[in-house]
Amino acid sequence: MFSSIKSFNLKPIRLFSFLIITCLSAAGIAAQNLPPAKPLRQETLLNGLRTAIFPGKDGKVYLKLRINAGAAFDLQGKEGTMAILAGTFFPNPGAADFFREDLGGSLEISTTYDFIQITASSRPEEFLTLIESIANAVANPTIDKPTVETLKKAQIERIANLEKNPSYAGEQYALARLFGNFPYGRPVSGSIQSVEKLEFADIIDARQRFLTADKASLAISGSVDANLALRAVRRYFGAWTKADRQIPVTFRQPDAPSAEVQTIDGDVSGFWMALRGVARGNADHAAAEILSVILAGRISKNLPSGTKPPVVFNRAFILPGAIVIGIPDGNSADDRELIRSLLSNPISQAELDQAKTLAASGFQTIGIDDIWLDSSTYNFKGLVNPAASIAAVSLSEVSSLASRLAAERIAAVRFVKNPKTSEVK
């Protein structure tokens, strides 16, 4: 009797546990696929500045201003222009201290091919000063000859340090081999030579063409009154000028890359490749994120034990970007046929599921404000949660993309270790 009672009691417990686990798993998947929360308030100012206010959780106020014109607009031979323009917003090294010590927050400015973004934060009681400071910085940037020369010097030092990084150098050479003179083949930060050529007038011209309110989107999140925040935005950002003409986004498409492998002498060996990918707003972007993870795992299994792991990046921009592959640690063999073979091999459901988890993990911390900004930059229809998009990708979609990429010509750069060379030329 005892045994039968024990058996009788365990079954409901196991069933109950199973149901709980199943429900929790389903809830997690459902939560991942729920659409993002909508802004508390949303408005476009008369000067064209798109603004949205979102709730926050950690007791701070965050302001993210994105200017939808990035390094893709740098003129050939004058790469680094937009990066220098971004530096004129807060050229004083003490600006970061002001945001940290006086406002209890932080300040960060970044430049990509697609945009310039200011990310700043403050205590809730300082949020009006936060808004005013950012508005003044973009409406009246410090562009004079001494400031531009100081920024150029600092940028050249940053570039010199970047070029010592084998991963950075490898990716830049691979992208240049793939895109040629197309904007994505030129570094966002510029080169030492291109930054040296920049003049005061180049930065003024970039400001007049691209630094206008109608090219920008502003997201504010945190413990603020949405109505008060919008009034402050109208007051402080309202004077920011609107463009008197539109700059057409037209670039001559790059030619097919050379079939030859470019050889570079350096202090490390490696083999870097790049092939045409998809645009950020393309329906296959999520599939490309998953495929990059799958490809990295497959390459690792084909390398000798003890080799450093490969790097695979999905670089997606407003226009179609690239899948960049780096095989470091002394590997200088031509691995293009290996890549084609790995892209052609069938993908299993288990492989897809594992790659989805890894790919989505890179987007788990993205905020609703970033999602909203992306919707403006990449012209999404509604708010697109990257993690949810990845979860929704099917096996056939990833397989179809892999087959298409396997037929693409692969640009390749071989780095050969040269004892006489202290850094990559």
pLDDT at 120 over 90: yes
What confidence score (pLDDT) does residue 184 get?
Answer: 98
User: In CATH terms, is domain 262-417 a member of 1.10.10.10?
Assistant: no
Output the 3-class SS for 291-335.
Answer: HHHHHHHHHHHCCCCCCCCCEEEEECCCCCCEEEEEECCCCCCCC
pLDDT digits (tens, 9 = 90+) for 187-239: 999 999 999 999 999 999 999 999 999 999 999 999 899 999 999 999 999 99
Compute the distance between CA of residue 91 and CA of residue 203 in angstroms, rounded to an integer.
14
What confidence score (pLDDT) does residue 114 get?
Answer: 98
pLDDT digits (tens, 9 = 90+) for 358-401: 999 989 889 999 999 999 999 998 888 999 999 999 999 999 99
pLDDT digits (tens, 9 = 90+) for 310-323: 999 999 999 999 99
Compute the distance between CA of residue 164 and CA of residue 182 in angstroms, rounded to an integer.
24
Residue 203's Cβ-count burial label (10 Å; 0-12, 13-18, 19+) is buried
User: In CATH terms, is domain 41-237 a member of 3.30.830.10?
Assistant: yes
What confidence score (pLDDT) does residue 332 get?
Answer: 64
Residue type, position 194, single letter: S
Q: Residue 47 in contact with residue 354, Cβ under 8 Å?
A: no
pLDDT at 346 over 70: yes
DSSP type of residue 112: -
> Which residue has 């009691």 as its token pair?
9
Compute the distance between CA of residue 105 and CA of residue 306 in angstroms, rounded to an integer.
43
Q: Residue 153 in contact with residue 110, Cβ under 8 Å?
A: no
Residue type, position 249, single letter: V
pLDDT digits (tens, 9 = 90+) for 130-157: 999 999 999 999 999 999 999 999 999 9
Least confident of 33-37, 83-87, 164-168: 33-37
What confidence score (pLDDT) does residue 81 get?
Answer: 98
Q: What is the DSSP string of 240-262?
A: SPPPSS------PPPPPPPSSPE
Q: Quote the mean pLDDT of the chain.
A: 88
Please count the other Cβ atoms lying within 10 Å of the Cβ belonging to residue 180.
17
**Among candidate residues 63, 38, 37, 50, the one with its CA nearest the CA of residue 122:** 63
pLDDT at 106 over 80: yes
What confidence score (pLDDT) does residue 405 get?
Answer: 97
Collapsed DSSP state (helix, strand, coil) of residue 11: helix
Give the angle subtended at the CA of 53 by the CAs of 51 and 57, to the nearest 5°: 150
What confidence score (pLDDT) does residue 14 get?
Answer: 35
Q: What is the pTM of this model?
A: 0.88
Please determine whether the domains at 41-237 and 262-417 fall in the same fold group of CATH.
yes
What confidence score (pLDDT) does residue 88 get?
Answer: 98
Task: Give percent above pLDDT 90 in the chain.
Answer: 76
Q: Are β-strands 61-67 and 411-417 bridged in parallel, bridged antiparallel, or unpaired?
A: unpaired
What confidence score (pLDDT) does residue 18 get?
Answer: 34
Domain borders along the chain are: 41-237, 262-417
Q: H-helix or E-strand containing 216?
A: strand 216-222
- Residue 6 C-beta-side C-alpha neighbours within 13 Å: 3
**Among candidate residues 54, 55, 58, 61, the one with its CA nearest the CA of residue 121:** 61
pLDDT digits (tens, 9 = 90+) for 54-69: 998 778 999 999 999 9
What confidence score (pLDDT) does residue 7 get?
Answer: 32
pLDDT at 17 over 90: no
